[in-house]
């Protein structure tokens, strides 16, 4: 259950800063350890993408979109919003993987026969807690979370410095 989303008068969202990412992948190992009880980056809900030609790494996170494509395509209503988080209800999920296909950011992966994605760790994202460079952080939301992150990704991919 997601709770305590309102901290004072500000809303918080999970963000990443590719300029601070060193590619250590501690976030991936920590996430998989917390969620799957094994330190295996392939089971992580956060993925670090390496752009060799630019010499940078980029933490890819679930955007918890305001109008989530993953939620819109789920035929059984297994993808739901709890607070700010968009989560997958494992009990309702039938394993069709339409949510994986619908996510334009590749933030949903599959483990076994079930899709897995970030659930914001109940409002205290572990990846943000353990990131040694603060490349992943739980920050203030000034405009819609998905708009801000999409803008950041577009700027980054165009080669523009994001900070």
CATH assignment of the domain containing 81: 3.30.70.20
- Classify residue 163: in a domain, yes or no: no
- Classify residue 99: in a domain, yes or no: yes
Question: Higher model confidence: residue 8 or residue 117?
Answer: 117
What percent of the chain shows pLDDT beyond 90? 54
Instruction: Determine the structural domain holding residue 12 and report its residue range.
Output: 6-157
- Classify residue 61: in a domain, yes or no: yes
Tally the domains of the chain: 1
Indicate if the pLDDT at residue 3 is higher than 70: no
- Report the mean per-residue pLDDT for the chain: 84
Is the whole-model pTM more than 0.95? Answer: no
How much is the pLDDT for 117? Answer: 95
- Classify residue 49: in a domain, yes or no: yes
Indicate if the pLDDT at residue 128 is higher than 80: yes
Question: Higher model confidence: residue 156 or residue 162?
Answer: 156
How much is the pLDDT for 138? Answer: 82
- Classify residue 116: in a domain, yes or no: yes
- Classify residue 45: in a domain, yes or no: yes
Separation CA 94–CA 89 (nearest Å): 10
Mean pLDDT of 40-56: 89
Question: Higher model confidence: residue 52 or residue 116?
Answer: 116
How much is the pLDDT for 90? Answer: 93
* Residue-wise pLDDT tens digits, 76-123: 999 999 988 999 999 999 999 999 999 998 999 998 889 999 999 988
- Classify residue 35: in a domain, yes or no: yes
N- to C-terminal Cα separation, the chain: 33
- Classify residue 92: in a domain, yes or no: yes
What percent of the chain shows pLDDT beyond 70? 83
37's torsion region: left (phi>0), alpha (psi -120 to 50) or beta? Answer: left
């Amino acid at each position: 259950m997601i709770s305590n989303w309102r901290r004072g008068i500000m809303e918080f969202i999970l963000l990443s800063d590719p300029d601070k990412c060193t590619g250590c992948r501690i976030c991936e190992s920590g996430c998989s350890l917390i969620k799957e009880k094994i330190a295996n980056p392939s089971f992580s809900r956060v993925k670090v993408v390496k752009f060799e030609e630019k010499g940078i790494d980029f933490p890819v996170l679930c955007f918890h979109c305001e109008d989530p494509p993953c939620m819109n395509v789920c035929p059984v209503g297994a993808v739901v919003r709890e607070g700010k988080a968009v989560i997958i209800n494992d009990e309702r999920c039938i394993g069709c993987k339409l949510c994986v296909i619908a996510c334009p950011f590749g933030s949903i992966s599959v483990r076994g026969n079930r899709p897995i994605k970030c659930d914001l760790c109940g409002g205290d994202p572990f990846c943000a807690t353990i990131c040694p460079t603060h490349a992943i952080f739980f920050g203030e939301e000034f405009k819609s979370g998905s708009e801000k992150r999409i803008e950041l990704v577009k700027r980054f991919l165009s080669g523009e410095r994001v900070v």
